A and B are shown apart, each in its own frame.
Chain A
């Protein structure tokens, strides 16, 4: 039994998409079905990395899975602040053909500071994934209210 998110998942998802221009730039859609979320990367010519094959850019598939993992973590749990990626491992299993791509993520563990999330992308057949990702995310507890919009950014070069 997973705990019920304090804020409705749909609202959190809408907020995440609103505040993440890159999700909109990639054209990624995220669809909720109860406690499951599926991310969709609609095919677009600009996502191609190798026009010879043609194949989707490996970086785009990695980025898509990272967004899926992040969304799963942020939207489907009670985490208040957007987690920050510490690192990702991406494996390319099959070439990404020029069609729509789908992804789902699974939270493997949430600790007090770090969460481990696994995500997989597929095209025609879910059982034949094209790319998978293991992501490690830092669960931030930002000091002060998040609406302190005047401070430009907190990017300490050393912490």
Chain B
């Protein structure tokens, strides 16, 4: 079971060009939980004066990790989309340190997943940021009903037909 999850998780990470561009690596996956690492890079800094990584990078890491926790909570792959994120930046990340995020999907309904996550550098008990997020399940239109829609430019090849 976990092997399938891990295969799926690492596939999803490899398949996401943005995750690849930022060098994200999947550190751990369990039912409803995921841990992802974002390596430090001077290109990701928000203010050269401090060397602190931009808040937006932490946003991307948290969103990505939350998405993985949702996928890891599902029995089979279903397309998901972030509905909202509420992030608190608790402190500046340490310059030069990788940032890790750990997310937990703690509630799953028929169409919504509820997730929380933390981002930290050295110590899990001293987080850089926390997030509360919700995701829509079966987010692509073709997953819910067949036929083209006015907004769909390309027909998603999501897992709904499988």
- State whether these chains interact: yes
A contact residues around B140 at 8 Å (CB): 52-53
> Which residues on the B side are within 8 Å of A64 (C-beta)?
56
Q: A21–B17 contact, CB under 8 A?
A: no
B156, chain A: closest CB distance, angstroms: 5
- State whether A46 and B52 are in contact (beta carbons under 8 Å apart), knowing that A57-B64, A89-B84, A97-B153 are contacts in the complex: no
Instruction: Contacts A20-B47, A54-B154, A154-B50 given; indicate if A62 touches B59 (C-beta within 8 A).
Output: yes
Q: Is the CB of B54 within 8 A of A90?
A: no
Min CB distance, A75 to chain B, in Å?
A: 15
Contact with A along B69-102 (1 / 0, CB 8 A): 0000000000101111111110110110000000
How far, in Å, is A54 (CB) from chain B's closest CB?
7
Stretch at the interface among A6-14, A79-87, A111-119: A79-87
**What's the count of A-B pairs with C-beta under 8 Å?**
153
Say whether B95 contacts A90, CB under 8 Å: no
Contact of A66 among B21, B56, B83 (CB under 8 A): B56
B59 to A59, Cβ gap below 8 A?
A: yes
| A19 CB–B CB distance under 8 Å | yes
Residue B45 is within 8 A (CB to CB) of chain A in the complex:
yes
Q: Is the interface of A mostly helix, strand, loop or mixed?
A: mixed
How far is A85 from B91 in the complex, measured between Cα atoms in Å? 10
Q: A35 an interface residue at 8 Å Cβ cutoff?
A: no
Q: How many residues in A have their beta carbons less than 8 Å from beta carbons of B?
A: 47
A92 to B21, CA, bound (A): 22
Interface residues of B in 33-54 (CB under 8 A from A): 42-54
Closest chain A residue to B89, Cβ basis? A85
The residue from B21, B46, B91, B92 contacting A20, defined by CB atoms under 8 A apart: B46
| Chain A residues proximal to chain B, CB less than 8 Å | 19-22, 24-26, 45-55, 57-60, 62-64, 66-67, 82, 84-92, 94-95, 97, 146, 149, 152-155, 157
Listed in ascending order, the chain B residues whose CB lies under 8 Å from chain A are: 15-21, 42-57, 59-64, 67, 79, 81-89, 91-92, 94-95, 126, 139-140, 151, 153-154, 156-158
Query: Which 9 A-B pairs have CB atoms at the shortest separation, nearest pair first?
Result: A63-B56, A59-B60, A59-B63, A22-B54, A57-B18, A58-B82, A46-B21, A62-B59, A87-B88
Give 12 pairs: A residue, B residue, CB < 8 Å, sorted on A: A25-B43, A26-B56, A46-B17, A47-B17, A50-B16, A57-B60, A57-B64, A59-B60, A63-B59, A92-B83, A153-B51, A155-B50
